[in-house]
Chain A
């Protein structure tokens, strides 16, 4: 994204943040329709990924089209949520969030070693993070640095005012993640895409894909529980944060094997999330070899 694209984004964002939520969504759905029809690469890649995740879609073109359209639609609505964040208030967000698997979150908090929430690219995590940051413990996102820098800074500053720190996938970021977990905070990251390019090849929906072992490595080092969680949109445009049983990374003397074992357990839970909500999992990027 160049300087002029960033400026265009900022103009649209300034408009959207002042709109009532239903209007912002209506605009988002229009933009999603446009992107779904005319994106040269995003839609083919997304549909390829969906076919790997849900093999039944391989032979059902109508269902695949419907799910990929819903996927674009949900993602555009998540973008509208993001654009409205600068004026959003946590008090207004609270009634929009439902939580399943709260007991796992409590179990993890009781350990007092911070919580590493491991997820996938699905839903509006800002809403969940803002509410939990206000009520439970400070939340940090451990995520990639976007291009251009101005856009990334906007993302970061917008999240910060809701109490969410954004830590980048580099050495400085890792140091801060460790510090945050030592101080019993929560860190959210996603493992369904190997952004740093250092992933370990392992089966993801039965096909080998590079998957980051970082969260498992951190969990092994600090004894932090790994909490698989996903956040998805409900039909009434509220959100569900759904947690699965905790994954504990146990050291056996072979660090790499331990990391792989914990990550495999996480992946199984993430696969279940995605298979239950394929219309919400938005990754229009190459995950597996053979993708367009």
Chain B
């Protein structure tokens, strides 16, 4: 089967959706299928070894959902996209965030093949979905099958499009890459207990709460270190907070390449995910669980669809740094508890391995193709592209 994976987000920037797309492409190749990736990219030198990468459009940063979405809004993608679709003759086109402008929507409208959409996002509300419903509904009609990465992600979409059937297939984790026993960053393995944060440095990830919690726990737990992996618009504020309060043993590592990130997980003792909301899933949680780390996380719907409090994690209400600090102190002081949570985390992560997830996604592809075969779409001519868009 030849599958085209479409991401709306800047492929040069790290993010959950693009990670998902990369891993799915690799896994499809392993299972004997061909995969191609379509995404905008802010850098021309971005490539992907495991599947052909089509760079379509240049992204711009748009604030959305307490984060920044780097998407392309170009109206001049159509001819190129149509030519590629005509040349590649995909069996399935798989759109990630299919209602995100402009690349997925353009391709979805033009696709002559079986279309599958995966919805990753979660938010309390969405003005675009609310007011744009009449415009977006025809695009949804082009999808033959749809997937949500979690129950909250599904609920978020069905709140605005109630009749839209979706199957929940979680994000996957590469259990060969994220596992215990990898070489740690050796100088981080010392007498200090390492608390790890991984994520974009933006408001919704809740790093501010973690810094306050760390400041509060510092006097109660000696020999503790906070390692912050990730970059983002709040980096300057994070660094100045650390300097202003003279927080000891805080490492702001910045962007860490994917090849090194698993080693940071192997250098840590506790993983902390203090997001304030708007998380549909939390791939970093899977990375932590697969690395055998106990997790302290906030009770946001996306995280709660992955975690089992008391078995693999301790959870606290979001935006509550005092409880976050208390939980970190409990876990930091109790080695036995850390070990117990970590043991369960390892078992659990195997349920999310990419081979299992990709097999489920393939089932959806087959269903979409069957549905498509029953109701074939009209072939699109390249010359008629502008009328189609």
Contacts and interface: CB of A to CB of B under 8 A. Distances in A.
B124 interface: no
Interface string A164-187: 011110001000100110010100
A89 B14 CA distance: 13
B120 to A, nearest CB: 25
A271 interface: no
A168 B186 CA distance: 11
A134 B257 contact: yes
B253 A157 contact: yes
Interface in A137-166: 137-138, 140, 153, 156-157, 160-163, 165-166
Contacts of B188: 160, 165
Contact of A163 (B45, B251, B254, B259): B259
B254 A86 contact: yes
Contact of B187 (A87, A91, A134, A166): A166
Most chain A beta-carbon contacts within 10 A, residue among B190, B253, B257: B257
Contacts of B234: none
B186 A162 contact: no
Interface in B248-266: 251-257, 259-260, 263
Nearest to B236: A14
- Interface size bracket, B side: 20 to 34
A161 B254 contact: yes
Contact of B257 (A86, A162, A183, A185): A162
Contacts of A62: none
A27 to B, nearest CB: 22
Contacts of B254: 86-87, 161
Interface in B5-56: 45
Interface residues of A, number: 28
Contact of A180 (B186, B256, B260): B186
Interface string B177-197: 000000111111110000000
B253 A138 contact: no
A120 to B, nearest CB: 23
A179 B385 CA distance: 62
Interface in B148-195: 183-190
A230 to B, nearest CB: 24
A87 B257 CA distance: 11
Contacts of B253: 157, 160-161
A163 B263 contact: yes
B362 to A, nearest CB: 30
Given A165-B188, A172-B190, 16 more contacts: A87-B254, A90-B257, A91-B45, A133-B260, A137-B183, A138-B183, A156-B187, A160-B185, A160-B187, A160-B188, A161-B256, A162-B260, A163-B257, A167-B187, A176-B186, A176-B189
The 5 closest A-B pairs by CB, nearest first: A165-B186, A138-B183, A163-B260, A134-B259, A161-B253
21 contacts: A89-B257, A134-B257, A134-B259, A134-B260, A138-B183, A138-B186, A157-B251, A157-B253, A160-B253, A161-B229, A161-B256, A161-B257, A162-B257, A165-B184, A165-B185, A165-B187, A166-B187, A167-B186, A176-B187, A180-B186, A183-B183
Interface of B: 45, 183-190, 229, 251-257, 259-260, 263
